[in-house]
Structure 1
Amino acid sequence: MLENIGETVDAVLEPLLGRVLIRKGKVLKIGDREIDFHPSFRLLLQTKLANPHYQPEMQAQCTLINFTVTKDGLEEQLLGEVVKAERPDLESLRAGLTKQQNDFKITLKTLEDDLLKRLSSAGPDILSDSALVINLETTKKTAADIELKVEEGKITSVKIDEARDRYRRAAARASLLYFILNEIYKINPMYQFSLKAYSVVFKEALARAEPAEDLEGRVKSLLDSITFSVFVYTSRGLFERDKLVFLFLVTLQILQCDGKVDARELDFLLKYAVAPEVSPFPWLSNNSWGGIIALSKMDAFENLDKEIEGAVKRWQKYTDGEAPERDKLPGDWKNKTPLQRLCIMRALRADRMSYASSAFCEENLGTKYVEARTPPLEKSYEESNCYTAMFFILSAGVDPLKVSENRLLVYTIDIYGKYSVDLEKLGRKLGFSTDKKNFHIVSLGQGQEIVAEEAMGVSSVNGHWVILQNIHLVAKWLATLEKKMEETFDNPLPEYRLYLSAEPAADASYHIIPQGILESAIKITNEPPIGMWANLHKTFSKLQSESDSWTSNS
């Protein structure tokens, strides 16, 4: 078996894939060597790529088997995890019942085979063969007993499934969120996540869910915990410009799953495929009026254009407002659904759509989603382990991983709103530093690949920390890095930690970071937050963290 192949396979394997045999016996030529070919030989190729594209010739030479999880399949898996956490007795009963049903099938097959064997070896007078008759009666009785137990098992299985289905909404939400994560690589190829890492987040969310007095309340608590945990886990690895896009996508998908989104309204909001109309008002552009006319043709917005013409001052005041997304729409239009109000905002004030989208998400999911802060480095460290790397996605043109006066600063930010996290300070707090020679810093480039490999090997064996800076500068070595990571994660000491950093490519076509590295790592971006409010929160969080540190050390 050849594991972790890419989209291209070495040409030396082509004779093997095509079974190009030389006529002098069964001999295969691989490179310059002739190798005997055994008829029982099988070649298995495995890839971690979620959607690989292979050459037509290779596809014709191989049998492709897709083990990628489906949405429904993942929902069933996650439902099992939810029930195991919430009702372990129920899941245990289900597992036992499944095993019992399988045992019954095996028993029936064994009895059937034994009976057929006896019949085939019986003499001409079957009725005089007392052993065969007794065996036949025993088989008949056993089969009847099993059939009765199978029917009882089916009834029990239905009751178990009914009880399990009460938690299905939580599993469906988790499955939905995972497939959203699977799509955001289209925004930036650095945003890639594995099911293995997602499963860890999911289980932690189940454990953190607030208790409730009844089952309905508990399911709602699970839904909230799962959604927010996945949002925080994902958004800390997104650039600021993409966080709202991700949150908006999550909100829309949840509403769609709940059947609360009209397809025509969503199409209008996303595409805005309208023709400009001559506006009767100087304060409203032709493009905006065209949007109003298009909306008025939908049942939910019937007579919207006439309403505006009949209450010009109120609509002008609303439209000219400094933050209309926070104001109520005139008349009964304020009672429209959040999505419908967003459609009206799209037509009247397209320049406020980012703020309106944020308000839309806040109204549907809650304030904590729009005010969510990137967890401090200490929190991310607590979630890491010796088998998982932490990957810092750098802002283009910024080198936050720099050594200054023997201090490794992951973020160098001042009190005026710039965020700072000192990785070396965290290391010193936990007993890791360059002075103790258990914190290894390798800046890649200029032939440092061998140094990096040695540092990883030493660190995994001795439980050290190692940070590999700017791995995007060594494109040809990245495949080797991925293999080395698998080696060091095989059996490391619990204290071992691997930190990586890289800049994203300027264009997706130049993306070089292997999918396997990105999917398995905890990703963190190094951008300062946008806006004074967010920056103040970051500053106070940092001061609080430092204050706690001083208190614990005093």
Structure 2
Amino acid sequence: MEPVLDHLLGRNTIKKGRYIKIGDKEVEYHPRFRLILHTKYFNPHYKPEVQAQCTLINFLVTREGLEDQLLAAVVAKERPDLETLKANLTKSQNEFKIKLKELEDSLLARLSAAGGEFLEDTALVENLETTKRTAIEIEEKVKEAKVTEAQINVARENYRPAAERASLLYFILSDLSKINPIYQFSLKAFSVVFEKAIQHSAPSDDIQQRVMNLTDEITYSVYTYTARGLFEADKLIFLAQVAFQVLTLKKEVNPVELDFLLRFPCKAGVTSPVDFLQHQGWGGIKVLSEMEEFKNLDNDIEGSAKRWKKFVESEVPEKEVFPKEWKSKTALQKLCMLRCMRPDRMTYAIRDFVEEKMGSKYVEGRSVELFKAYEESSPSTPLFFILSPGVDPLKDLEVLGKKLNFTIENGKIHNVSLGQGQEVVAERALETAALQGHWVILQVPSGR
């Protein structure tokens, strides 16, 4: 914390005449002044004196905490009766606690005020009996409520896989800012996508099938929503992260193998005994060979060099069948071997891996559907287009506008190119559009 803030944090004010002053320079201080400081540090540490002077609020959301929030949202949509019942139970249990506390306080007050023989105080005895009887009734109701709550929780748990998947996806989105600071996704926007995915998922009377439909729709909706805002070079990274973390959550991948694929540790100083493998690739093979699942891989490559050479030097090795018993390895294990042998083909291999595990719809090349983006917008959620040179979405917007009866000709589209002196024009257009429900296109010149 900057030393210049010490006077503010300590509220070191002095009164001079009618005014309140602060600091060495005696700056005038308004009694309603509020200071809010925010940090982006994941786990900040504050000195004890700062903790004593300030109110610290932790907005950090955890995977488990978000999962519980999203579970409540799913159940509220799918089984509103359950969520209402659970809310009522929580309320009634709190009321029971308050009632018991009031009875105890009342009894203690009467006992402390009573003098002499307690049994001669009729009101005290009656109050004691009432308290005892009410406490027994409340205890019975609490027992009943706990049984009902347990039944509700069992029913709610059926929907946990959907909430668990959604929570996982949100934290993948949060980490995208490490790739590029422009990738910022708010929990509020994510919640909108999440709720729309619930609405659009295929219905089913079978609860397990319904949860599977919910999980699949949530995953795909979040993917399409996110990929729309990513640069082309980063889309496969995001897709791979989704695939790997979903499979890890389902315990369908070996964490050690996944760690090898992502970090690619290799033995330094080793020389490749075959001409079709680089020294670094052979170093990776030696590390792999130390794992039980890849035992004798290095010896097999040396012993069957001709067969492995044909595989490694093929045009599309990710589509070829691995030699001998290695063809029966899992998809992730094959990726690990290919990572050592043909790192140049990993982009295609990862794409094939995602298609196998998640479905072909995740890897199909498709342009952004403007109408889909429009459906997700609202009067308070505008669309932003970050354009490459030569790209102009105006024609697509005009086509969409004609379908919805928004055109420049009928005055329902206001197109303003922002520049010097155009602020007034833009503000006037926004005011008109806000009142009459028009569209406003604000074009910002490059470099601004």
TM-score, normalised relative to structure 2: 0.90
- Listed one character per residue, the Cα deviations across residues 52-85 of structure 1 (whole Å, up to 9, x for unaligned) are 9899899665332112322111100111112222
AA aligned opposite 1:332: E
Question: Structure 2 matches for 1:34-433, cutoff 5 A?
Answer: 34-35=28-29, 37=31, 43=34, 45=36, 62-212=54-204, 214-274=206-266, 275=268, 277-371=270-364, 373-395=366-388, 398=389, 400-401=391-392, 409-410=393-394, 422-433=396-407
Is residue 265–residue 287 contact of structure 2 (8 Å, CA) maintained in 1?
no
How far apart are the structure 1 equivalents of 2:178 and 2:380?
A: 27
**Are 1:454 and 2:428 an aligned pair?**
yes
**Are 1:466 and 2:445 an aligned pair?**
no
Q: 1:249 to 1:123 in 2, by over 3 A?
A: same
How far apart are the structure 1 equivalents of 2:269 and 2:427?
A: 61
Q: Using the TM superposition, name which of 258-267 and 180-189 deviates more.
A: 258-267
- Listed one character per residue, the Cα deviations across residues 448-475 of structure 1 (whole Å, up to 9, x for unaligned) are 334333332232122121122227755x
Q: 1:128 to 1:56 in 2, by over 3 A?
A: closer
Structure 1 gaps of 5+ residues are: 1-6, 402-408, 411-420, 475-554
Secondary structure of the residue aligned to 2:440 is: strand
How far does residue 283 in structure 1 lie from its aligned partner after superposition? 2.2
Q: Using the TM superposition, name which of 172-181 and 441-450 deviates more.
A: 441-450
Q: 1:242 to 1:36 in 2, by over 3 A?
A: closer
Structure 2 gaps of 5+ residues are: none
Q: 1:301 to 1:171 in 2, by over 3 A?
A: same
Q: 1:57 to 1:113 in 2, by over 3 A?
A: closer
Secondary structure of the residue aligned to 1:99 is: helix
Is residue 19–residue 28 contact of structure 1 (8 Å, CA) maintained in 2?
no
Is residue 50–residue 68 contact of structure 1 (8 Å, CA) maintained in 2?
no
- Listed one character per residue, the Cα deviations across residues 331-353 of structure 1 (whole Å, up to 9, x for unaligned) are 22122222111000000101101
Q: 1:432 to 1:42 in 2, by over 3 A?
A: same
| Larger relative contact order (Cα-Cα within 8 Å, sequence gap ≥ 6) | 1
How far does residue 193 in structure 1 lie from its aligned partner after superposition? 1.1
**Are 1:445 and 2:419 an aligned pair?**
yes
Is residue 289–residue 297 contact of structure 2 (8 Å, CA) maintained in 1?
yes
Amino-acid identity (%): 52
How far does residue 87 in structure 1 lie from its aligned partner after superposition? 2.3
- Listed one character per residue, the Cα deviations across residues 243-273 of structure 1 (whole Å, up to 9, x for unaligned) are 1010001111112222233333223212223
Q: 1:485 corresponds to which residue?
A: none
Q: 1:508 corresponds to which residue?
A: none
How far apart are the structure 2 equivalents of 1:447 and 1:473?
A: 17
AA aligned opposite 2:159: Y
AA aligned opposite 1:348: M
Is residue 248–residue 255 contact of structure 2 (8 Å, CA) maintained in 1?
no
How far apart are the structure 2 equivalents of 1:217 and 1:327?
A: 35
Secondary structure of the residue aligned to 1:340 is: helix
How far apart are the structure 2 equivalents of 1:425 and 1:48?
A: 44
How far apart are the structure 1 equivalents of 2:47 and 2:385?
A: 37
How far apart are the structure 2 equivalents of 1:201 and 1:46?
A: 30
- Listed one character per residue, the Cα deviations across residues 190-221 of structure 1 (whole Å, up to 9, x for unaligned) are 21111111111111111222234533222222
How far apart are the structure 2 equivalents of 1:46 and 1:459?
A: 36
AA aligned opposite 1:387: S
Q: 1:52 to 1:385 in 2, by over 3 A?
A: farther
- Listed one character per residue, the Cα deviations across residues 264-310 of structure 1 (whole Å, up to 9, x for unaligned) are 32232122231253222222222222221221111110011122233
How far does residue 430 in structure 1 lie from its aligned partner after superposition? 2.2
Is residue 284–residue 348 contact of structure 1 (8 Å, CA) maintained in 2?
yes
Q: 1:180 to 1:331 in 2, by over 3 A?
A: same
Q: 1:428 to 1:49 in 2, by over 3 A?
A: farther
Aligned residue pair count: 444
- Listed one character per residue, the Cα deviations across residues 158-203 of structure 1 (whole Å, up to 9, x for unaligned) are 2222222222111111000001101101222221111111111111
AA aligned opposite 2:147: I
Secondary structure of the residue aligned to 2:135 is: helix
Q: 1:192 to 1:340 in 2, by over 3 A?
A: same
Q: 1:36 to 1:165 in 2, by over 3 A?
A: closer
How far apart are the structure 2 equivalents of 1:233 and 1:199?
A: 12
How far apart are the structure 1 equivalents of 2:171 and 2:342?
A: 32
Q: 1:357 to 1:84 in 2, by over 3 A?
A: same
Is residue 444–residue 473 contact of structure 1 (8 Å, CA) maintained in 2?
no
TM-score, normalised relative to structure 1: 0.73
Is residue 74–residue 163 contact of structure 2 (8 Å, CA) maintained in 1?
yes
